[in-house]
Every structure is written in C-alpha cells, then in structure tokens.
Amino acid sequence: MFKALLAWLVQAFIRLLNATYRYRFDGQPKRRDPQGADPYLLAIWHQNLFAGILAQTGRRHVVIVSRSGDGDPVTMLCERLGHHVARGSSASRGRDKGGREAKEDMIRQLEAGLPGALTVDGPRGPAHVVKPGIVEMARRTGLPIVPYLPLPQRYWSMKSWDRFRLPKPFTRIDVYYGEPIPVPSELTGAQFEHYQRIVAEAIDALEARHDPHFVPRDHLERPKTGR
C-alpha cells in the first residue's frame, strides 16, 4: 500500500515538473527508410535518463529497466508515457537478474517495428563506458544505433555514480540526435570493443558540440586496484 502510494506521488511530482519544461528538438532520428517506417536504437548516457524519457513522450519505444526496487518507479513512469518496458539486468555473482529474458523481449519488439532506447552505461556503470548490450542488439537486428542527447539548459547534478542530471523547473531541454551507426552482423570480441567506443565518442561528440561546459572523458573501463 505504502509503496503504491509513494509511486503515485513520485509520478504526480514528475508530471507536474514536466509541465514546466520547454522542449526544443533539433531534428528527428535519421532512418534508413525516408518514410520513417524502420526502427532504430537510441543510445543515451544514464545521467540523462530522466530528461531522455520525458522528451520521448508520445513517441513509443521499447526500453530495458532493471528488476531492482530502484527500477520500479522508472518502469511505472515509462509505462504511463506509453513505452514498452522489458525488465531485467545483467547477471551478478552467478544470479540471474532477467537480463537475457529482457534482451529477447526487446529484440521481439524491435523486430515488430518498435524503436528502442538504452542507457548504454547503465544500470550501475562505470559512467560513460558503453556496455556491449546495444552493440549486440544492433548486430542481431540489423538496426542502426542513434546517439541521443537531451540537454537541459539548467539542471541539478546528483552525487551518484553517473552524476545524474535533474532538469530544474521551467528550464528548456534541447534534444539532439547523432548520425546513425550501422553495426555489421559478424563481429569478433575486439570489434565489439571498437563499436562500443564509436558509440561513446558519438554521444560525447553531440555534447561537445552543444554544451559549452563539456569536459572530455575517458571511455575505458579500468581494472580496480587496491592501495
């Protein structure tokens, strides 16, 4: 009961907040079909998830959200906005978290013609390091990866692993799309890493072009070392 009430209050707050935002779209995702009939895969950093979901209101996508409690409000918000949600995340310490099932669900929706969107460094980071999932999905479906940047003019930056961005009330959110990135159907391990880096650099190229405060990033996942 309390959980449902809390979720309702969060959604009400988000709807109220979203009503104050102004969106400016710099074009639309470029597709192979000039008539816009073929789907695509939006690639976004986890820190921009909030603005990224709201900016696609009225544009139905399939998304993957983790099965953790943290994913519940995100799932409810996405479903309220009309998106198809596949629940699951990568296995951890041998425990199945529904990642494979969620990926197969998403692929079915993509093949049925629904565009997709993925936080490519989520759900737990490291920040700005692209996971192989989106490359694998593009390889299997033949769909292009489209870099996606929703950029609030003013926002709060949270003290989280991804420096999560919460747009401030009454701000403008500029929405940018990069050039589609085609992925071959045959890839080796090294080629996967190559395309992961291409995707990361393409998202950052958008931000570098449009955000005067952008700071270049290192997209390599480095091993943890003790002191």
- 162 pairs with which residues across the strands? none
Burial classification of residue 64, based on how many CB atoms lie within 10 Å of its CB (0-12 exposed, 13-18 middle, 19 or more buried): buried
Is the pLDDT assigned to residue 22 strictly greater than 90?
A: yes
Half-sphere exposure of 38 (CA within 13 A, CB side): 13
Residues 204-215: tens digit of each pLDDT: 999 999 999 898
pTM (two decimals): 0.88
The residues, any chain, with a CB within 8 Å of residue 218's CB and separated by 6 or more, are 128
Is the pLDDT assigned to residue 10 strictly greater than 90?
A: no
Residues 113-166: tens digit of each pLDDT: 999 999 999 888 899 999 999 999 999 999 999 999 999 999 999 999 999 999
Strands 172-177 and 145-152: antiparallel
Tell me the domain boundaries of the chain.
20-209
Rounded to 10 degrees, the C-alpha dihedral 198/201/206/211 comes to 170
Is the pLDDT assigned to residue 82 strictly greater than 70?
A: yes
DSSP label of 48: G
State residue 185's pLDDT score. 94
Q: How many residues does the chain have?
A: 227
Q: Could you tell me which residue, 221 or 153, shows the higher pLDDT?
A: 153
